[in-house]
């Protein structure tokens, strides 16, 4: 039986996998276990202790490649808790046990107060503070590590909507945009105006004259140059303080895809099924939230038939692109081929037909995606996590995609939270 008395300190046992993201170790929590009443040695309003045999059994369950454990206990009567001397002593005893059982010293201790959570690595001589982020339909920074100043005059009207905490959350966000064409360049422009602190632009393509009618920030002089360069220049003209990185690169490359793990949020603004499959899996395998944006203008016999757009957030708890049957397996296969592989493949016929594109329609759908991300980050009550646009009828409606229970991407049976222990789709090395 679980004792749920909120006036007493309590424990929760977490385990999952860890990985190196380039800026430090990140921990992906896959499972949480609430100890039963009989697992406690002591439980009062100011102290808590678990039986050593129970702790050992929980550690045993967590064994595996890149495994880590986290011990969580509450201080229900303290709003902003700190680690006590008793915590220090207990962790010094626990650290060598964890290393001997799991082969690593990288594990986490968490204290939950009434207003704030704090966390640190267990048993380190100089334990680093661990930021705690809850990733789902809303992104919550539970440890309140954002201590940033904001330009109240520049962002006055936004602060009136989202509050200073919301504006700090936007400024602290590290965002990547994959694909900076017709929708991605609009997303970049809007994020610059919103005050995003760091923006990374990823696209392998160069500007053609036919792009100029919808590539925001590009000029005729940019023809033949990388799209990311023109968009980065435009972002800097709007927000000189924004840290912008322009990369002419393809997310189908494993190296590029994995490097996105340094970011907090991704926009997928590409019409490639292969790249969308990569971002879809990153969102769930590594808890890297993504907004996927797509536009379709359908013409038959020279007549405009349909205008459709979709902005969908991909994050744990939300149905993925696979659940929604939005990825064409055959097209994904083709996208992952190299040019030589396509020439040698008997099933590959012809080239991709260029699709219609109109900047006003792109901007409508891009705006839906940006507002969706703003809501997720600031907590603003804009609840849609899948928005569908019918351009002919002039209608936007909110919808949902229910997660498929055994989905290979977003379920616990699949890639969810598995990090580096699960294969990520990518193009073969060297291409």
Element (H or E) spanning 30, and its range?
strand 25-33
Name the residue with tokens 């990185």: 245
Mean pLDDT of 24-39: 94
Coil, strand or helix: which one is 303? strand
Alpha-carbon gap, residue 200 to 269, rounded angstroms? 13
Domains in the chain: ranges and CATH: 11-130 (no CATH), 156-421 (3.40.50.720)
Helix/strand/coil percentages in the chain, nearest 5:
30, 25, 45
> CA distances (Å), 326 to each of 252, 282, 286, in order?
18, 16, 21
Per the model's pLDDT, the better-predicted residue between 351 and 269 turns out to be 269
Q: CA 380 to CA 374: how far, in whole Å?
A: 7
Angle in degrees, CA 68, 70, 142, rounded to 5: 120
259-278: pLDDT as tens digits: 999 999 999 999 899 999 99
- CA–CA distance, 394 with 226 (Å, rounded to integer): 34
DSSP per-residue string spanning 41-79: EEE-SS-EEE-HHHHHHHHHHT-STTEEEEEEEE-TT-S
- Choice between 303 and 340, residue whose per-residue pLDDT is larger: 303
- Those residues whose C-beta lies under 8 Å from the C-beta of residue 239, and which sit 6 or more positions away, are 192, 193, 195, 196
Q: Is the pLDDT of residue 347 over 80?
A: no
What pLDDT shows up at residue 430?
Answer: 42
Report whether 78 contacts 113 (CB < 8 A). Answer: yes
- Could you tell me the pLDDT band of residue 342, with boundaries at 50, 70 and 90? low
Half-sphere exposure of residue 278, counting CA atoms within 13 Å on the CB side? Answer: 29
pTM for the predicted model, two decimal places:
0.93
Q: Which residue has the tokens 């799209």?
A: 227
How many Å apart are CA 313 and CA 292, to the nearest integer?
6
């Amino acid at each position: 039986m679980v004792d749920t008395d909120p006036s007493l300190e309590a424990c929760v046992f977490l385990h999952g996998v860890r990985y190196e993201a380039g800026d430090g170790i990140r921990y992906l929590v896959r499972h949480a276990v609430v100890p039963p009443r009989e697992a406690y040695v002591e439980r009062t309003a100011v102290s808590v202790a678990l039986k050593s045999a129970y702790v050992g059994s929980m550690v045993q369950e967590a064994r595996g490649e890149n495994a880590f454990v986290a011990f969580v206990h509450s201080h229900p009567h303290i709003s902003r808790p700190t680690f006590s001397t008793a915590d220090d002593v207990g962790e010094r005893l626990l650290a060598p046990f964890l290393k001997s059982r799991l082969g690593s010293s990288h594990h986490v201790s968490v204290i939950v107060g009434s207003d704030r959570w704090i966390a640190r690595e267990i048993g380190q001589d100089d334990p680093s503070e661990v930021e705690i982020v809850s990733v789902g339909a809303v992104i919550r920074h539970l440890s309140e590590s954002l201590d940033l100043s904001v330009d109240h005059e520049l962002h006055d009207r936004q602060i009136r909507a989202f509050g200073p905490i919301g504006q700090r959350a936007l400024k602290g966000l590290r965002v990547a945009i994959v694909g900076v064409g017709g929708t991605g360049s609009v997303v970049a422009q809007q994020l610059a105006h919103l005050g995003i602190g760091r923006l990374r632009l990823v696209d392998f393509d160069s500007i053609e004259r036919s792009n100029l009618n919808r590539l925001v920030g590009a000029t005729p002089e940019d023809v033949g140059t990388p799209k990311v360069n023109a968009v980065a220049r435009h972002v800097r003209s709007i927000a000189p303080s924004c840290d912008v990185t322009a990369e002419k690169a393809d997310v189908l490359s494993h190296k590029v895809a994995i490097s996105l793990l340094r970011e907090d949020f991704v926009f997928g603004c590409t019409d490639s099924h292969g790249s969308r499959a990569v971002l879809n899996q990153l969102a769930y395998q590594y808890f890297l939230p993504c907004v996927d944006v797509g536009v379709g203008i359908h013409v038959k016999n020279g007549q405009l038939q349909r205008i459709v757009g979709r902005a969908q957030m991909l994050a744990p708890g939300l149905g993925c692109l696979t659940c929604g049957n939005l990825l064409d397996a055959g097209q994904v296969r083709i996208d992952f081929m190299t040019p030589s592989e396509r020439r040698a493949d008997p099933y590959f016929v012809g080239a991709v037909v260029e699709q219609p594109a109109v900047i006003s329609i792109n901007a409508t759908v891009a705006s839906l995606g940006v507002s969706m991300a703003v809501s997720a980050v600031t907590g603003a009550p804009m609840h849609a996590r899948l928005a569908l646009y019918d351009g002919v009828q002039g209608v936007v409606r909110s919808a949902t995609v229910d997660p498929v229970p055994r989905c290979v991407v977003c379920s616990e049976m699949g890639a969810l939270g598995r990090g580096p222990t699960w294969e990520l789709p990518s193009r073969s090395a060297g291409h």
